[in-house]
Structure 1
Amino acid sequence: MRMIDAADLPDLVTQEDALAAARDAASARAAGEVIDGRVQFDWANGESGVRIMGAAMPSLGIFGYKQFHWIDGGVWYACHIFRASDGAPLGVVDAASITTLRTAATAAVGVEALYGSDRKAVVAVIGSGAEAQAGLRALARVVPIRAARVYSRNTVNREIFATRMNDELALPVIPVDTLRKATDGVDIVYSATQSNGSVVYHADDVAGAAVVATIGSTSPDQREAAGDVFARASRILIDTEDAIAESGDLIEAALAPESFELLGTALAAPARRTEPYSVFKSIGSPEQDLVLAAHILRRAEEHGVGRTVAPAMSRKQNL
């Protein structure tokens, strides 16, 4: 089996790889080819804990799990990949950056499915952290972006975001000091915030956009978009059915399950724009991590990157 650490990853995965993995994972889920489950437990009043998200995708030849744990303010991530045909371990991949890459790629694919890739866009980014930066990078690969604005509560962070993204993407990226200055007159809103449970924006704040992509509320106690953002949308794509019960935003919206479409289903049809706006909502799902990690392992084997070690397990033959 092959071990891939964080230092190996920049040479093994491109934005195009992440987008391709996101499409494969979404299509597999929509086709009913993903069997998944999750378990979480914590201790020390939630200050420490473990979460394991596993999935099997026999049609793609893999199964495995992403595991992360948090202790003393730090978080450790890893993806463990196995071959579906015989259960042999294929490798372990450091997953800290995989989480950011797959989230951004999946959201970009969602925007592309709703907005298309044939029309230039002005983008509002709400949030200025690593997830927001990765999101704009991914969006720039699927939609021709004319300009971007960024709003976050931290003045220094949004200035850094604008300078970095302007230089990296060769786009005019403008920091603004209010939410409405960011969203007024834009085509796409991309939100990736850490609001500590507080709603960041309402439907009136984004109603002029064609597409809203929101990735910031991934558990019942997290918030980003108010429920009316979804209630007033003409179309809502989600990356996994679990989002309906696990995102605080969708719990507030309290919409019927038939109000939502799976991303993979939308990918099988041409992009369709609707009025007043469409929403893509993502909470992440294990197949997104595992498909990308499996791709990284294949690339690593091709290029001889990473460390090969004897599997730390053996097969026991049942009699």
Structure 2
Amino acid sequence: MNYDALLWLSFGGPEGPDEVMPFLENVTRGRGVPRERLEEVAEHYHHFGGVSPINRLNREAIAAVEKELAAQGIDLPVYFGNRNWRPMVEDTVATMAADGVRRALVFPTSAYGGYSACRQYDEDIERARAAVGEGAPHLVKLRQFFDHPLFVGAFADALRAARAELGADEGTRTVFVAHSVPVGADAAAGPPGSGGHRYSRQIAEAARLVAAEVGLGGHDVVWQSRSGPPQVPWLEPDIVDHLGTLHAEGVRAVAVCPVGFVSDHLEVIWDLDNEAAERAAELGMGFARAATPNADPRFAQLVVELVREHTQGAPARKLSDFPAAGGTANGAPCAPGCCEPVRRRS
């Protein structure tokens, strides 16, 4: 099937101090998050001059993908849109329509299932097309890729480098980290009777695949960046709390692998490079963090391979037996009701 373009769809982030609060208000709109909490999170951004690296990292990745597309002889312009900050996806899709794009693929910058990692990108696409109205391009989202060999390989090499930085002796523990989500939302993910789409299971499987590639005998899977009211249970343990547990067990050093993320955006550099690293230093533990795959050449190759599944019928490469989901090539689109937020299933 012919496609006119590729839409790179991401989360968005502020690129100056004056943009921080409006951005956070966009992220939390309709969730009743107190102003005090937003101001607390805003300080994380102001620690870095009010600039999140995510837009820059996306632009760099897009440039790498454009180069890889050209190298493989695929004539496909790449557009960039965000859910929560400029360039907003509604504006980008309007530009695509004005440019004559009628059918495009969409690459969401998340490897996993779940509501915010997958289903919400479907909603972003629907909202953008509705905003453009008649003449909006048909948009086809690429599938999840947490178990793709290029994704796993990039993380495996990054983890090897982090462990080498620590000496990787018997006192080093490898800890895989991903963004926490409410327990109820995680349980609601996936069609009835199937756990294949469940975010926490996919994270655990990706960690297992990376650990196996590195040849580890054991590892932990923990979480970061929880938010929301304290009475709502989220996936645990938190990375900072887990460091205390490991210290009590006599672990001397930790190699942290942010397997739930594709780039070193603010939650990675704040929650891991600042909070977790500082806690490890307080405990006298060695600490090294593996790089995310955004800058690895294999990431651009992965994106183009996902594109080729649609444009050239390339086979879907995957290392797990989990169902291919989140898109339509070599697998099934998400089932109705899959990964809905809990409030919509009550």
Give TM-score scaled by structure 1 length. Answer: 0.37
Point out the structure with the larger helix share.
2
Give TM-score scaled by structure 2 length. Answer: 0.35
Point out the structure with the larger strand share.
1
